[in-house]
């Protein structure tokens, strides 16, 4: 039976960073990724720029260079791909880990590749760095599963001339609304809050306020979408009154959450607040040898831990495993 020293589930920035740190500690991990390297970033809006400066996104001591103040999505994809290639990371892409369980004094992982072939791996240590982008926060309303509804915004062009409802009031919702208005879409933002979210980027807020005041973008505060139909959406106001609006597409930009069910099935204890139990100094969970890294370690919302902080989780894990080897 071949046994790995460490397997990392997820090849996002935090998974890649963990692999680099483990290699430096003398441990050559295997990464299993159900999509492509940095899949979550590839799902970001096509023309998106990060809030973070490039040095705050760097991993593996490889400089992240850009001609812009803030790096673009395309630059980030190139950067993380380059890090993985230069460090010669072992990555099994397009392969989904379906279970992690303890067996014969180590971990047994089962997976399915893109051809439907099942595989089994054994490892002394497992690091779950699965991110959150595959698990949108669903609204649980009638019509949410219609083809016209998406939880991802890629680019504005396809929506030219269309009636588009955006659910949410975060930066992603506001950025999408501004892009859509520029290509001639008729945009209505539906947001539960009574006013603009305090998290909106300060340099963006004047733009959205200006578009709304000129009637170029419609925003419904204190409201929620309660039903989606092929040609309409129904909006409910705080006082309970309802209104139907003509609608072609819905962007439900309501955020994402980590796959806590997978962690539970792997034996990780979830605290009463819904957070995974782990040691912040080592990232080890209540299951010895089972670690978490990146956004799955978030305590309140998925954005609490992003690349800026999650990239250091691998270093904690590597230092801990190296100290155990030396003991």
233-290 confidence digits (pLDDT tens): 999 998 999 999 999 999 999 887 777 888 889 989 988 777 889 999 999 999 999 9
How confident is the model at residue 305, as a pLDDT?
Answer: 47
Tokens at 319, concatenated: 């230092």
How confident is the model at residue 303, as a pLDDT?
Answer: 47
Note the residue count of the chain.
327
- Of 158, 172, 165, give the one whose Cα is nearest residue 144: 165
How confident is the model at residue 13, as a pLDDT?
Answer: 92
Half-sphere exposure in the Cβ direction for 207 (13 Å, CA)? 14
CATH 3.50.50.60 for domain 4-135+256-326, yes or no, is yes
Angle at 43 between CA 74 and CA 9, to 5 degrees: 105
pLDDT in tens, 85-100: 999 999 999 999 999 9
Q: Distances from the Cα of 5 to the Cαs of 94, 107, 209, in angstroms? A: 22, 10, 54
Distance CA 51, CA 56 (A): 10
**Which distant-in-sequence residues (6+ apart) come within 8 Å of 74 by Cβ?**
none
How confident is the model at residue 299, as a pLDDT?
Answer: 63
Could you tell me if 186 and 245 are in contact, meaning their C-beta atoms sit under 8 angstroms apart? no
Give the rounded percent of residues in the chain with a pLDDT score beyond 70.
97
Three-state DSSP class for residue 190? strand
How confident is the model at residue 82, as a pLDDT?
Answer: 94
Tokens 């994402």 correspond to 256
Identify the CATH homologous superfamily for domain 149-252.
FAD/NAD(P)-binding domain (3.50.50.60)
How confident is the model at residue 300, as a pLDDT?
Answer: 53
Angle at 257 between CA 80 and CA 186, to 5 degrees: 90
Could you tell me if 93 and 111 are in contact, meaning their C-beta atoms sit under 8 angstroms apart? no
Given a cut of 70, the residues of the chain with pLDDT beneath it are 299-306, 327
Distance CA 208, CA 210 (A): 5
Q: Where in the chain is the domain with CATH 3.50.50.60?
A: 4-135+256-326, 149-252
Q: What's the predicted TM-score (pTM) here?
A: 0.85
- Of 294, 299, 267, 269, give the one whose Cα is nearest residue 283: 294
How confident is the model at residue 229, as a pLDDT?
Answer: 97
């Amino acid at each position: 039976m071949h046994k790995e020293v460490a397997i990392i589930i997820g090849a996002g920035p935090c998974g890649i960073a963990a692999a680099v740190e483990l290699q430096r500690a003398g441990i050559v991990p295997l990464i299993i990724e159900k999509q492509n390297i940095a899949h979550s970033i590839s799902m970001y809006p096509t023309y998106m720029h990060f809030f973070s400066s490039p040095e705050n996104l760097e991993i593996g001591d490889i400089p992240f260079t850009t001609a812009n103040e803030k790096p673009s999505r395309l630059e980030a994809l190139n950067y993380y791909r380059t890090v993985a290639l230069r460090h010669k990371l072992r990555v099994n892409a397009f392969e989904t880990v379906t279970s992690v369980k303890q067996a014969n004094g180590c971990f047994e992982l089962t997976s399915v590749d893109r051809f439907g072939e099942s595989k089994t791996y054994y490892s002394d240590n497992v690091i779950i760095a699965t991110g959150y982008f595959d698990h949108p926060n669903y609204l649980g309303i009638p019509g949410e599963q219609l083809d016209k509804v998406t939880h991802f915004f890629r680019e504005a062009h396809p929506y030219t001339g269309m009636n588009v409802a955006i659910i949410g009031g975060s930066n992603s919702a506001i950025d999408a609304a501004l892009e859509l208005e520029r290509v001639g879409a008729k945009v209505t933002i539906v947001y539960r809050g009574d006013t603009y979210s305090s998290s909106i980027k300060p340099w963006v807020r004047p733009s959205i306020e200006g578009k709304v005041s000129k009637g170029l973008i419609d925003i419904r505060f204190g409201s929620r979408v309660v039903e989606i139909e092929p040609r309409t959406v129904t909006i409910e106001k705080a006082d309970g009154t309802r209104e139907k609006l003509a609608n072609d597409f819905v962007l439900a930009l309501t955020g994402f959450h980590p796959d806590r069910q997978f962690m539970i099935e792997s034996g990780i204890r979830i605290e009463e607040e819904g957070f995974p139990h782990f040691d912040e100094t080592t990232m080890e969970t209540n299951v010895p040898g089972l670690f978490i890294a990146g956004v799955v370690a978030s305590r309140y919302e998925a954005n609490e831990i992003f690349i800026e902080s999650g990239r250091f989780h691998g270093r904690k894990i590597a230092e801990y495993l190296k100290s155990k080897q030396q003991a």
